[in-house]
Structure 1
Amino acid sequence: MRTTEQARIDRLTAAGQWGTTTLHDLLREQALDRPDQLAVADPPNRAAFTEGDQLRLDFAELERAACALAADLLGRGIRPGDVLIAQLPNVVELVVSYFASSLVGAVLSPLPVQYGAHELGTAARVLRPAAVLTIDQVKGVPLAERAAKALPGVPVLRFAGAAESDGILTVTGQCGDAARKAVDAHLAAHPADANAILTVVWTSGTTGTPKGVPRSHNMWLATGRTSSEAAAYRTGDRLLNPFPLVNMAALGGFLFPMALNGCSLVLHQPFEAGLFLTQIQDERINFTIVPPAMLNHLARDTESWNRFDFSELRRIGSGSAPLSPWMVEVFDRDYGKPIVNFYGSNEGISLFSTPETSVEPDVRATMFPRLGCENMPWSGIAHDYVRNRVVALETGELITEPGQPGELQFAGPTVFDGYLGGNDDGVFTEDGWFRTGDLVEICGEPPNYYRIVGRCKDIINRAGMKISPTEIDILLEGFPGLTDGAVCGYPDRDYGERVCACVVPADPHHPPALEAINAFLLDQGLAKFKLPERIHYLEALPRNPLGKVQRHELELQVKTA
């Protein structure tokens, strides 16, 4: 399957940003260069959430396992262009599946384990899968049984420890001569295409129904190179991935950089703070990504931080939600572990704020360098790859001056071609730029940065005054009586919309009053017209798998409260 027009392929190939290397090409290179180095490791608590032995494969073993699985899939009739749905937790089998699919030329569409029969059916109607790769259960949820009922007629292939029947797949680290010959013959008959679609990932669904995002080897490798630059990866680094291997954060930030740089990928599932910190220490992790809420907790609780040996950790990534400047400062000044602020999406948009581009903590927490724009002081892969601009919502005119909000738009080798099924109305501009739907403004001294002020549809319009909910979210993180907090708009007859604070109290029996929160916000310098006029208490904020607040869910809860 290809989605890219030849003119785009020719242009990006001539620029040296796309090439002929595939994901399985990279694995073979690493297996030759560092066969005995750890390639991928299961979570140590695997037995607590699913079946199967805990696996740790070096690069030679991973290459053999991918070859064996590819031969198995070919033997079951899977062919280039066939779509495989994968619904697996963060276990070694999922990593092997990506490389095996690459060898076959199949398209792998990973789905979160949280997806139920409805979501499986919706995805299958679009994908028309040749098979489902899954496992019997995750935390008691019968994934294989559910997939078989939701997708009648689609073969459901289960990973297990031994070949008990025709529906069982194995990851043993072995690849016999027959399997190797079958895969080599297949590759000779069907040469690999770096511009072929390797995956169909799915939008996070913060608004509307999730949409399929086809991405080629070249798109992913371009993203992997920019992420590697941001994280400052080195050959042999040890990476800890806590995010589901189904989206940009995990694939673009960990899997593809692992293959590009010869890094060791350690998996974590599900997120458990104590185990996560223990893994950083015991696995001698050099880089990981941590949710903002946990970073805030660690910044406040030095005792918890000092309980572990994090001497091998060089820097930490975060994102998906606003970062707090004070937290970034604590990690820089007190812990000596700089934070990298990531901004991206499955569609291929990518910006990041690093210690190199954004020295001051308040800049790194709240702004992103205008990588790829003319007359900027940046250099490097991301600056060469990324193209972006800001466009006025009402007029469509290009914004070049600070302080004027507009939509952020992207182009370049990391960006996809369009959603599966052609549901692209309004997604791209007439001249081919991807419309992110994110509202930003040029900022900084000099104005070399963007500040994200919200979603184009998220802006709260209070009597004609535009209010960015993201701005208030960031301030709420600093209120000591809250575990979490965000704001949303709610309808008002006189003003159109007003602001509601949706908060998770640290002490549910003594929740903070709206007056106390507003006094705090005023002390932080927030304008009075932006203050919340209603408060809504929650046990937890609705967030998608990437940690982004689902503001439309908040709006629904507030309306019906």
Structure 2
Amino acid sequence: MNGPLNRIEGVEYGDPGRAQQYLDSGAWMKITVGEALRQTARRLPAKPALVTDTRTVTFEELDSLTDRLAAALLDIGLQPSDRAIFQMGNNIETALAVIACFKAGIVPVCAIPQYREIEIGQLARLSQARGYFVQSDPAGSFDMVRFAQEMTAALPGIEHLVFSGSRAPADCLTVASLIETRDAASARARLAEVRIGPEDVLSFQLSGGTTGVPKIIPRFHGEYLAHALFAARNYEMDEHSVFLWSLPLMHNAGQLYALMPTLALGRTTILMSAVDIARMLTLVEAHAVTHISSIGPIAPQVIAYPDLHKHDLSSLKLFFTMTRADALEQKIGVPCSNLYGITEGLLLGTGPSAPVQARHGTNGASGCVLDEVRVLEPESEKAVADGQMGELCFRGPSSLRGYFNAPEANRTAFTSDGFFRTGDIVSAHRIDGKTYYRFEGRLRDNVNRGGEKIGCEEVEQFVSKHPAILDAKLIAMPDAVYGEKGCVFVIVRPGAADPTVGELAAFLVAQGLAKFKCPERIEVVDAFPVTRVGKVDKPAMKKMIAEKLASEGAVKPELAS
């Protein structure tokens, strides 16, 4: 191998010698994502690859359609290493568009449909995007077509707007119309001219940071494929597995758990456009689903679902979730395990054959033997003993080499010997001779609402612009479904009326903040609690709201602790 073939300025590629070691050892695959799909399509041409309520595509169809779309994207002027923002939901056209970009060397910037002016504007400028893929008919009343057109007009760097779905304007480029401009043979000939290697950038993923400015994480073809396969095999999946995914496909978790193993293993994946527990369990029966994952509020909804007895779940081998694996397993009678994942490159989990203590009492272990994990005293590089809490730090084949164009952030993101500092608190536990890690909390200031990280500082800045509010502090409050939601403590200006949750949300959305980031409870106070040294005491506020919710019966006491 000769290193990356399409270097992008601002990307940290790491040590060439170490890269070669990873390729030679199998820690990185020696192929691109497009090549992985082609190999699977030759081996399993007629097997269903992706299934939705409205459409099924086989591996052969997926390979051919993405070839045609990839060539068409090059025809309109996009080029290898160009970046393209994605705001698309879970459907076949999303998969076609993102895989086509992979084949053409175009780098998807993996946004989510809920982002609005603030987030898309920041991403476009940071990533230097030239393309913008938008679903024209997502759920809800928000006009994505108009929004995308306005953002394209406001962002001069974006030159190519491509829609999917039924509401695309007649005079605009669409995924379907672009596919029709190329036949399979000519598309393959065009793509043969494109040089992409396993060390080239595959996608730009986003870090869940503590501020409103997202940090971009470059992921690479061979690295990302191997990372996904290590995780899939850690959960004891193979080509005969059937996976169900109902959360955003363009999220890092969607790519690693749903898309990449499908393309590389030849596993069938069922895509749901939204979370619907009754429908999900019906699909388990219809397609003999073997594995489900919950990166968000799915597990609590399954636990609360009253009609479980109406569904045959005998095909399920594992349900892996962020938390509450023990309660979920008790409810559904299927092996369940907790997980941990971070976009910077570590996935922890356990398969159905792992000890119950590991599956329920920890968040698992890495499936890659070359991943190195340390638990350190916060703000130091001193290791803590097993069972003691400390900051999770790691390095390995898929760990972050550096955020894109972010030298300042990169200076503080690592230990002196190159371990990434997660800001998450864990404890290590030896079970049957193997080390597993249990998530204990976070150092950083954010709200983890069903797997989506909300930076408190960003929301506080927007809330403080409200004419009735002098100052604001956002904290995470416990929630039985999402794990956490945002509660904002505010100091109101003298003589002003206390804003309601609805009024504040309308104000924030009008400022361009994504709706899911809006606080879902307001606590009006005369002053914020402070520590003995005079700093705002957010842990005290978290304790106050947790105890208040418990006294109101809104959450169980154990969630408030």
The aligned amino acid for 1:397 is K
Deviates more, 1:349-358 or 1:219-228: 349-358
TM-score by length of 1: 0.75
The aligned amino acid for 1:317 is F
Report deviation, 1:236.
Answer: 3.5
Distance in 2 (CA, whole Å) between partners of 1:476 and 1:249 is 23
Report deviation, 1:231.
Answer: 2.4
Question: Counterpart of 1:170 in 2: which secondary structure?
Answer: helix
Q: What residue is the counterpart of 1:450 in the other structure?
A: 437
Q: What residue is the counterpart of 1:392 in the other structure?
A: 377
TM-score by length of 2: 0.75
Cα distance, 1:78–1:86 mapped onto 2, change above 3 Å: same
Asked if 1 retains the 8 angstrom alpha-carbon contact of 2:362 and 2:438, the reply is yes
Aligned residues: 469
Q: What residue is the counterpart of 1:513 in the other structure?
A: 551
The aligned amino acid for 1:309 is D
Q: What residue is the counterpart of 2:176 in the other structure?
A: 170
Q: What residue is the counterpart of 1:409 in the other structure?
A: 393
Q: Deviations over 1:46-81 (max 9, x none)?
A: xxxxxxxx3221111111110110121011011111
Cα distance, 1:157–1:208 mapped onto 2, change above 3 Å: closer
Q: What residue is the counterpart of 2:71 in the other structure?
A: 71
Distance in 1 (CA, whole Å) between partners of 2:64 and 2:425 is 46
Report deviation, 1:424.
Answer: 1.9
Question: Counterpart of 2:543 in 1: which secondary structure?
Answer: strand
Report deviation, 1:195.
Answer: 0.9
Establish whether residue 123 from structure 1 lines up as the match of residue 116 from structure 2: no
Q: What residue is the counterpart of 2:515 in the other structure?
A: none
The aligned amino acid for 1:240 is L
Deviates more, 1:244-253 or 1:11-20: 11-20
Distance in 1 (CA, whole Å) between partners of 2:394 and 2:32 is 24
Establish whether residue 137 from structure 1 lines up as the match of residue 137 from structure 2: yes
The aligned amino acid for 2:145 is A
Report deviation, 1:206.
Answer: 5.4
Asked if 2 retains the 8 angstrom alpha-carbon contact of 1:163 and 1:169, the reply is no
Asked if 1 retains the 8 angstrom alpha-carbon contact of 2:325 and 2:338, the reply is no
Cα distance, 1:176–1:484 mapped onto 2, change above 3 Å: closer
Report deviation, 1:407.
Answer: 1.1
Report deviation, 1:247.
Answer: 2.0
Asked if 2 retains the 8 angstrom alpha-carbon contact of 1:358 and 1:369, the reply is no
Asked if 1 retains the 8 angstrom alpha-carbon contact of 2:247 and 2:295, the reply is no
Q: What residue is the counterpart of 1:191 in the other structure?
A: 195
Question: Counterpart of 2:204 in 1: which secondary structure?
Answer: strand
Asked if 2 retains the 8 angstrom alpha-carbon contact of 1:219 and 1:415, the reply is no
Q: Percent identity?
A: 23
Asked if 1 retains the 8 angstrom alpha-carbon contact of 2:320 and 2:336, the reply is yes
The aligned amino acid for 2:73 is L
Superposed, 1:331-480 pairs within 5 Å as 331=331, 335-360=332-357, 363-369=358-364, 371=366, 382-399=367-384, 401-422=385-406, 423-444=409-430, 448-457=435-444
The aligned amino acid for 1:137 is D
The aligned amino acid for 1:150 is M
Distance in 1 (CA, whole Å) between partners of 2:284 and 2:415 is 43
Establish whether residue 317 from structure 1 lines up as the match of residue 320 from structure 2: yes
Q: What residue is the counterpart of 2:33 in the other structure?
A: 23
Cα distance, 1:11–1:57 mapped onto 2, change above 3 Å: same
Asked if 2 retains the 8 angstrom alpha-carbon contact of 1:88 and 1:135, the reply is yes
Distance in 1 (CA, whole Å) between partners of 2:110 and 2:83 is 10
Asked if 1 retains the 8 angstrom alpha-carbon contact of 2:73 and 2:178, the reply is no
Report deviation, 1:431.
Answer: 1.6
Distance in 1 (CA, whole Å) between partners of 2:298 and 2:20 is 44
Question: Counterpart of 1:388 in 2: which secondary structure?
Answer: strand
Question: Counterpart of 2:307 in 1: which secondary structure?
Answer: helix
Distance in 2 (CA, whole Å) between partners of 1:144 and 1:156 is 10
Distance in 1 (CA, whole Å) between partners of 2:423 and 2:173 is 43
Q: What residue is the counterpart of 2:543 in the other structure?
A: 500
Cα distance, 1:143–1:385 mapped onto 2, change above 3 Å: farther
Deviates more, 1:113-122 or 1:412-421: 412-421
Distance in 1 (CA, whole Å) between partners of 2:550 and 2:24 is 59
Report deviation, 1:346.
Answer: 1.3
Asked if 1 retains the 8 angstrom alpha-carbon contact of 2:71 and 2:191, the reply is no
The aligned amino acid for 2:250 is V
The aligned amino acid for 2:316 is L
Query: Which structure would you say has the larger RCO, counting Cα contacts within 8 Å and 6 or more residues apart?
Result: 2
User: 196, 216, 222: which one pairs with 2:226?
Assistant: 222
Asked if 2 retains the 8 angstrom alpha-carbon contact of 1:317 and 1:340, the reply is yes
| Contiguous gaps of at least 5 residues in structure 1 | 45-53, 372-381, 460-474, 506-510, 525-530, 533-561
Question: Counterpart of 1:441 in 2: which secondary structure?
Answer: strand
Cα distance, 1:444–1:126 mapped onto 2, change above 3 Å: same
Question: Counterpart of 2:369 in 1: which secondary structure?
Answer: helix
Q: RMSD value over aligned CA atoms?
A: 3.4
Superposed, 1:225-304 pairs within 5 Å as 225-290=229-294, 294-299=298-303, 304=307
